[in-house]
């Protein structure tokens, strides 16, 4: 039986920091340097976080994380993959997230998608996520995907990956 891998969307498949940076610039004329954001959560990094994240198409047009299509294809051939995304906090994101997955990852079926509020009751062998609070409630192997907000997080229970190439080497 294949091992079960839970893959997060925002900050793992979707490059939400770059989406915020683009929209702060386009909508509000605010220029923010990606490399200046280490250790800063989105809510603090982006002055217009609330209006941007609630805006139409924020999730629908998010850029892909580099290498995520090839990387997820590799995982999907080798493991039982579920995409597990915190989504119910932003109800309008639900359909956008599913459409975004359908567009960029057509090999992922609707049977593999989970949109939730808390990931606590969702189990598997391996979790790839950028948020410590998701990893800390998970009982399998915990892989933290580097994002600015977790840049300084150290936890010996995690294995850290910085990009999708490192995921495919590790798994």
Query: What are the residues binding a copy of itself (CB under 8 A)?
Result: 4, 6, 82, 87-89, 91-92, 94-95, 98-99, 109-118, 121-124
Q: C-beta of 73: minimal distance to a copy of itself in Å?
A: 19
Q: C-beta of 124: minimal distance to a copy of itself in Å?
A: 6
CB atoms within 10 A of CB 105: 22
- The SS3 assignment for 17 reads helix
Q: C-beta of 59: minimal distance to a copy of itself in Å?
A: 12
**Is the CB of 17 or the CB of 131 nearer to a copy of itself?**
131
Which residues sit opposite 31 in a β-bridge? none
Backbone φ and ψ for 92, nearest 5 degrees, come out as -70, -15
Spatial distance between the Cα atoms of 118 and 121, rounded to a whole number of angstroms: 8
**Is the CB of 74 or the CB of 90 nearer to a copy of itself?**
90
> Is 129 in the active site?
no
**Is the CB of 22 or the CB of 104 nearer to a copy of itself?**
104
Spatial distance between the Cα atoms of 77 and 136, rounded to a whole number of angstroms: 27
Q: Among 124, 131, 122, 120, which residue's Cα sits nearest to residue 155?
A: 131
Catalytic residue among 8, 15, 129, 130: 8
Q: C-beta of 61: minimal distance to a copy of itself in Å?
A: 17
Spatial distance between the Cα atoms of 68 and 100, rounded to a whole number of angstroms: 13
Whether the Cβ atoms of residue 170 and residue 159 lie closer than 8 Å to each other: yes
> Is 8 in the active site?
yes
**Is the CB of 9 or the CB of 113 nearer to a copy of itself?**
113
Catalytic residues, by residue number, are 8, 10
């Amino acid at each position: 039986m294949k091992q079960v891998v839970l893959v997060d969307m925002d900050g793992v498949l979707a490059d939400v920091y770059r989406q915020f940076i683009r929209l702060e610039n386009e909508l509000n004329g605010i220029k923010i340097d990606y490399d200046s954001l280490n250790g800063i959560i989105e809510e603090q990094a982006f002055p217009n976080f609330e209006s941007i994240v609630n805006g139409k198409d924020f999730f629908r047009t998010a850029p892909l994380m580099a290498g995520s299509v090839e990387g997820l294809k590799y995982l999907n051939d080798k493991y039982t993959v579920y995409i597990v995304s915190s989504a119910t906090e932003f109800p309008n994101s639900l359909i956008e997230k599913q459409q975004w997955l359908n567009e960029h990852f057509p090999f992922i079926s609707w049977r593999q998608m989970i949109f939730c509020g808390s990931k606590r009751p969702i189990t598997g062998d391996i979790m790839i996520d950028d948020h410590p609070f998701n990893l800390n409630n998970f009982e399998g192997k915990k892989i933290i995907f580097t994002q600015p907000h977790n840049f300084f997080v150290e936890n010996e229970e995690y294995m850290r990956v910085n990009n999708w190439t490192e995921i495919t080497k590790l798994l």
